[in-house]
Every structure is written in structure tokens, then in C-alpha cells.
């Protein structure tokens, strides 16, 4: 599974007085996409942390193209860009209900050993799940 998508409805608390989604909330939307991509692969952040692996974001880029509004349902498409090593990289496309691209984003995360607080290579159990993906 190289790509995965989720849907999320915009809550009132995520908007400003004009009903437009506050720009900082897009970071949460792409985090939701990434965690659900991992869950669909059979991996959860909780399990990774229990096994001593953290996955902090080390780079994020967001390109805002159109506004999203209160009560809209957005589709967040998350795609693994390449096989991970010490880092894992995702691309995101967020679509509105009319299937228009409203946001594009990219994140890079690093695998960190929780005990040593040092970078580590992607755990084998993740690489095994990704072995069948064609890049």
C-alpha cells in the first residue's frame, strides 16, 4: 500500500469567524492522514513507541491553494514517496467536496531510538510490510 486516503469533516472550532479553516489545522489533517496510512499498513504509533521508536517530523512543507470551510468534508490522500531508510517521506493532497485540490504538503520524519535519542534505520518490521510496494 503506497497511498491511503481518509475523510474528515471540518468542525466549527477549526475555523475563523468567516468559516474558513485556520491554516495551522492543516498540520493536524496531514498528521491524521499519516497515522491512518500507518494503521492501514498494520502499524500504530503507539506500538512503535512501545517498541522504543519515535517518529518526529523534521521537515514540513504546505502549499495552500484554496480555502476549506466549516462543515465541508475533506479527503486527505497520503502517499509514501520512497522506501524509508533513517527517514520516511510522505506527500499529501487535500481535496474539497468538489474534488478540487485545496492543499498539497510534504513531510519528512526521522526514526529515533527512544533510549539513545539518536537516529536509527527504519525498523525491519516496517520494511517487511513495505517490501511488496512498487516504486
As annotated, the active-site residues are 16
Contacts of 3 (CB under 8 A, 6+ apart): 37, 77, 78, 79, 80
Question: What are the two backbone dihedrals, phi and then psi, of residue 98, each rounded to the nearest 5 degrees?
Answer: -90, 10
Task: Show contacts of 91-96: CB within 8 Å, 24+ apart.
Answer: 92/30, 92/33, 92/34, 94/26, 94/29, 94/30, 94/68, 96/66, 96/68, 96/72
Amino acid at each position: 500500500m503506497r497511498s491511503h486516503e481518509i475523510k474528515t469533516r471540518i468542525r466549527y472550532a477549526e475555523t475563523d469567524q468567516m468559516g474558513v479553516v485556520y491554516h495551522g489545522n492543516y498540520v493536524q489533517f496531514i498528521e491524521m492522514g499519516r497515522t491512518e496510512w500507518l494503521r492501514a499498513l498494520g502499524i500504530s504509533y503507539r506500538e512503535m513507541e512501545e517498541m522504543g521508536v519515535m517518529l518526529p517530523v523534521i521537515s514540513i512543507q504546505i502549499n495552500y491553494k484554496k480555502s476549506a470551510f466549516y462543515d465541508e468534508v475533506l479527503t486527505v490522500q497520503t502517499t509514501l514517496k520512497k522506501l524509508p531508510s533513517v527517514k520516511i517521506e510522505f506527500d499529501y493532497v487535500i481535496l474539497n467536496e468538489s474534488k478540487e485540490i485545496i492543499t498539497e504538503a510534504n513531510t519528512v520524519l526521522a526514526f529515533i531510538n527512544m533510549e539513545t535519542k539518536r537516529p536509527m534505520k527504519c525498523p525491519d518490521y516496517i520494511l517487511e510490510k513495505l517490501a511488496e510496494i512498487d516504486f
